[in-house]
């Protein structure tokens, strides 16, 4: 740390008061540092009264004079600087301790505007600051890539965003779904014949629109167990009643209505 030589001093023989002109001793000098007077003698600084007044020990030995050059040797400069740096570190670390250190992250910020608007997420990579997880508040979680929201999950768990809108269904996945549907439900046409699904029943309306936009209607094939009984419609005037016996045989009778 360099010696302090700003301004000039007025000294008085056998006095411990040093008066400065153009000095800033409160900000630049510390107690215990060394005052090198115009008489080339060294003195300890015992008090800093103001920016232009300080006291020394022992009393000034040289002759009385004004507008004199002087120097202050910072004997405690390194310790003082270290203390100041440590205080600044502690002050800046408080935000880290109470924030990320406690697992709490602030909401993301935005940069740019219009077409160049970018979202900087709450948790991001050191080398990729526009990609990560954002915590905007109000019980919302966002997934950010390239500075844009790709997936947002609301407080009730509802997902929204291009990730959901563009979730692809591959050809292999669709084929597997079709195969599973074919195994579970036999395909047939709708009609009034026995074992067909009547179009005026809820079951007959069971259908789905697949990815290829092909309408699939499914006939109900009952997977009965011994002891089960059920009805199957033949027409508006006939109904078949079936019973799965305990011997494993399914028996039926036809009921006719006027």
- Sequence-separated (6 or more) residues with CB below 8 Å from residue 38: 9, 11, 62, 65, 68, 69, 70
**What average pLDDT does the segment 36-42 reach?**
95
Looking at the predicted structure, is the pLDDT value of residue 52 above 90? yes
Strand order in the sheet with 8-11: 65-68, 8-11, 17-21, 53-57, 42-50, 34-36, 71-73
Q: What is the mean pLDDT of the chain?
A: 80
So what's the pLDDT on residue 154?
87
Q: Which residues pair with 9 in a beta bridge?
A: 20, 68
* Tens digits of residue pLDDT in 198-254: 544 444 334 444 444 444 444 445 567 888 888 888 888 888 898 888 988 889 999
Q: Which residue has the tokens 């990815």?
A: 211
* Tens digits of residue pLDDT in 140-195: 888 888 888 888 888 888 888 776 655 566 778 778 877 776 655 454 555 566 66
- DSSP reduced 3-state for 175: helix
């Amino acid at each position: 740390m360099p010696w302090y030589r700003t301004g000039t001093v007025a000294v008085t023989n056998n006095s411990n008061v040093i008066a400065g002109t153009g000095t800033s001793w409160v900000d630049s000098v510390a107690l215990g540092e060394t005052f090198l007077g115009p008489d080339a003698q060294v003195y300890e600084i015992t008090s800093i009264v103001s920016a232009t007044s300080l006291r020394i020990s022992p009393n000034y030995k040289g002759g009385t004079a004004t507008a004199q050059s002087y120097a202050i040797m910072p004997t405690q400069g390194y310790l003082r600087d270290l203390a100041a740096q440590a205080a600044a570190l502690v002050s800046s670390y408080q935000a880290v301790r109470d924030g990320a250190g406690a697992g709490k992250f602030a909401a993301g910020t935005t940069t740019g505007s219009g077409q160049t608007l970018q979202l900087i997420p709450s948790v991001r990579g050191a080398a990729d600051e526009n990609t990560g997880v954002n915590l905007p508040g109000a019980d919302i979680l966002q997934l950010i890539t390239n500075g844009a929201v790709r997936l947002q999950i609301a407080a009730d768990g509802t997902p929204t965003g291009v990730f959901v809108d563009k979730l692809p269904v591959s050809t292999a996945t669709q084929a597997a779904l079709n195969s599973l549907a074919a195994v579970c439900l036999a395909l047939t046409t709708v009609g009034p014949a026995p074992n067909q699904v009547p179009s005026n029943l809820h079951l007959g309306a069971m259908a789905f629109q697949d990815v290829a936009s092909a309408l699939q209607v499914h006939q109900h094939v009952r997977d009965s167990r011994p002891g089960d009984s059920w009805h199957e419609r033949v027409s508006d005037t006939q109904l078949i009643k079936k019973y799965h016996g305990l011997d494993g045989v399914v028996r039926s009778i036809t009921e006719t209505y006027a």
